[in-house]
Chains A and B, each alone.
Chain A
């Protein structure tokens, strides 16, 4: 039982690492980035391609993927989302167009990776770099433990950054009212690029760690994570880092124990039904505000 709880925590951390980047941009600069899953996959794919030329240590795979994710996300902001935001007649229209734009952008890296891999799975050459150790009868893998620890540290760091730093304050101001924030001297353009880069970095890091943990992913793996992350963020409450943590862990525990109960083919249905019931009772999610003001 304790091993199962530990496994559910690792799964929750996997979802959390992925979801944090989406939550960050959605809650602050108003970008619900549907290309996040593609960035996640393509960052890992970039590290995979480089790793094919020389066997790399696990840390280097993570660094390459994180850097690739940051660059990709920043480019998406500059080349796609920022022009949409400039030309849209109002904020709501911009949000909708960004959503559609994200779906369109996502198809490019997915298409490239699918073409190169012939839609097959890919991973890293890491023989012997993910050891298993046992403590008090519980089994841990190095990567599973790293994911668990990193997810919690990054969540705490993100929450601290958003709540305590001047940049975080500026981002929250953009989230509440971007026009007033601009009048107060907040450089929205620069902050948007920076926030997207941080979200991309998290996405790339998640891509590398999950590829190690899951052994192999394929060009469409990001899509499945995207839906789950979206659900977890809504469940936790848009704009709350603690909400994302809770949402992802509720989803992971629901899935794990549905499978353990022998209803594996119902895991998504039961998990999403649970989320639906919670949202019926509390539409703003666990930690969302009734009147949604981002961040």
Chain B
């Protein structure tokens, strides 16, 4: 069973993957349900497994409902408007960058830099070669970097 902090991390992964409101709640419950039904075996920590399941659920949700555009709209509308705050400006930039990524790139970025999974673990969990994960991560990072505020970018 996940701790409340771990569940919050799973919710964060779902949020960064474009799910909102009731869809996010449903997906979070689905992750917990799958955790109860099938204990993770391939990854060491349950939270890493849960985060991967969360990204898979988010991708399924986008495919099933065809709401990629809606997810992008969600990301756009959740961006705060107070750009004087550097944290808010950064949040805006990250949201803008995420909506420009495709689902695969967004998945590896969130798993690597939010869920804190290693490249080899992401590759194993997603069933793709490590090189694929690296290349997606490289593209995603480059796209995100282009969106960063000037004062925080290099």
Q: Do A and B come from one complex?
A: no
